[in-house]
Amino acid sequence: MSGPDHTPWPPAFAARYRAAGHWRGQTFGALLTALAEAHADRTAVVGEGARWSYAELDERAHRLASGLVELGVRAGDRVVVQLPNVAEFLPVVFALFRVGAWPVFALPAHRDTELVHFAEQAEAVAIVTVDAHDRYDHAAMARRVADRVASVRHIIVLGAPAAGTIDLEELAREPRQLPDPDPSGVAFLQLSGGSTGLPKLIPRTHDDYLYSVRESARICRLTPDSVYLAALPVAHNYPLSSPGVLGTLHAGGTCVLAPRPDADTAFRLIEAERVTIAGVVPPIAAAWVQAAARTELDLGSLEVLQVGGAKCGAELAARIGPALHCALQQVFGMAEGLVNYTRLDDPADLVLGTQGRPISLDDELRVVDPATDADVAPGETGALLTRGPYTIRGYHRAAAHNRTAFTPDGFYRTGDLVRRLESGHVEVVGRVKDQINRGGEKVAAEEVENHLMAHPDVLDAAVVGVPDEYLGERSCAYVVPVAGAQPTPAELRRFVRERGVAAFTVPDRVLVVDAFPATPVGKTSKRELRAAITRSLVPAASSKER
């Protein structure tokens, strides 16, 4: 693939975003310098075995930046960063920001194929990784990637160093003055979710990202007393910036990095660190809701639980406040830019029933007929297009893909089907292509999922199409039951039928499973569900079918 590294906003748009005060010409390195002055002794980050003040974080980032420069890493170089939720993540990325090198934000769950893709696409000069995580040897994987991708010259490892790698701890050097990078230039490459193929690289600038971070912190009412729990992998756009660790630092608060998102780990940290806000995906929210009923841990400090990354159904949304004694905030965002939040003072029907409204008045949203790009009538469902002060105009080196992923006038095609309410709030209805074509009869996966989730025994449902000789496709519903319940496929099909729907809406197959395969950030992976059923590899022991 080829094309420009970064597609800048047209000059008239850039001028407008500057004039409005959205883009302020500050880099992330300069931000950390300012934070270290304002909040020197406050705790910036807590990880396993680490508790660093703002002054310490700043010092570490300076020392690492110096070490990276000595190693030969230069402004504009790309560096794949694959770290789990450890405190070191922050000094590493701020060091790269200060050098002007671009982190490429890999997630711990990515493996050789993805890492090779990132390193190749970005022509990365280095990989920063961990020795091992979740019993997987990341350093060995990084060495395999370096063998396959010629541009990779350095492997920097947190933890036990191995032959041919550099110990992250030994990289630090005396701080030196480095020229501040161009704030309108690229700060890092974020990743798309990769729902249709390998993740694409998303160039984000200091100016645009800092705007979204600053506004996110304000919308979420973060203060120096806020304590944010990063339960999801911190390099993902959501825990990184919505408001995530960067929004928390921006506010002078404390970031607590959870090594895993399970309720036990998270609840212990909430109690121990007096966490005030956390952000999770719906499957984790559902697990926390169930666990909260049994926990003896004190979750009383938790003020806000954010749920986003995938649709939080009305049933789950309604359970969160009562179970966790906190406010729910829905977050609908994308690494490409646009982020929507329900506001903390929104009425309950909007908080429970929508995915929020955009950060910025300068976020332009269009809801269109996916076939013609014509605007649908207000309140009707259509495909969401967006452009604005923190939404990219093109992926990194993907000229051909950019021609279809963006409209000629620069709107990003989100691929999401939404309805926009008069208040400006957005309700996500599904994905543009998430329908099953059952012999010409189109079944919206989301609709069938909603019917299934209305059943009291159903915790979660995911409906996918399965190739079929006669119909082209048939529908297959995967169902995760609530703890202790054992709904049968026949009962669930009857339940959907009795809700008075067209016969083709009743799923052809129902499989009751223990859990869904997940994407690296923990969203239900329909791609893997489709692949599994196509290969007929659904583990028979843990699934029941009729």
CB atoms within 10 A of CB 498: 10
CA proximity to 428, closest of 390, 386, 474: 386
Closer CB to ligand AMP, 89 or 332, in the complex:
332
Q: Which residues contact 348 (CB under 8 A, 6 or more apart)?
A: none
Of the candidate residues 33, 85, 330, 342, the single one contacting ligand AMP (CB under 6 A): 330
CB of 334 to ligand AMP, least distance (A): 4
For residues 159 and 283, which CB has a smaller minimum distance to ligand AMP in the complex? 283
Give the nearer residue to ligand AMP in terms of CB position, either 29 or 239: 239
413 counts as binding ligand AMP under rule CB under 6 A: no
Element (H, E) at 460: strand 458-468
Residue 242's binding partner, choosing from ligand AMP, ligand DBH, none, with beta-carbon cut-off 5 to 8 A by kind?
ligand DBH
Binder among 88, 416, 427, 449 for ligand AMP (CB under 6 A): 416
* Residue whose CB is nearest to ligand AMP in the complex, by number: 193
The closest alpha carbon to 473, from 514, 496, 445, belongs to 445
Which parts of 232-261 interact with ligand AMP (CB under 6 A)? Answer: 237
Q: How far, in whole angstroms, is CA 455 from its chain's centroid?
A: 29
> Strand 132-133 vs strand 136-137: parallel, antiparallel, or unpaired?
antiparallel
Chain centroid to Cα 103, Å, comes to 16
Q: Which is nearer to ligand AMP, 413 or 493 (CB)?
A: 413
Q: What is the dihedral of CA 312, 314, 318, 321, to 10 degrees?
A: 20
- Residue 53 C-beta: closest distance to ligand DBH, Å: 27
> Can residue 46 be called a binding residue for ligand AMP (CB under 6 A)?
no
**Shortest CB 306 distance to ligand DBH, Å:** 8
Which residue lies nearer to ligand AMP by CB, 165 or 330? 330
The answer to whether residues 429 and 454 touch, using CB atoms and an 8 Å cutoff, is no
**List of residues 6+ apart from 530 with CB closer than 8 A:** 464, 465, 466
Task: Give how many residues touch ligand AMP by CB under 6 A.
Answer: 17
By a kind-dependent CB cut-off of 5 to 8 A, residue 435 interacts, out of ligand DBH, ligand AMP, none, with none
- Burial classification of residue 195, based on how many CB atoms lie within 10 Å of its CB (0-12 exposed, 13-18 middle, 19 or more buried): middle
Q: Which does 192 bind (CB under 5 to 8 A by kind): ligand AMP, ligand DBH, none?
A: ligand AMP
Contact partners, residue 97, CB within 8 Å, separation at least 6: 27, 28, 29, 32, 103, 181, 187, 188, 206
Q: Which residue is nearest to ligand DBH (CB)?
A: 333
- In the bound complex, what is the minimum distance in angstroms from residue 445's beta carbon to ligand AMP? 13
Residues forming contacts to ligand AMP in the complex (CB under 6 A) are: 192-193, 237, 308-311, 330-335, 355, 414, 416, 428
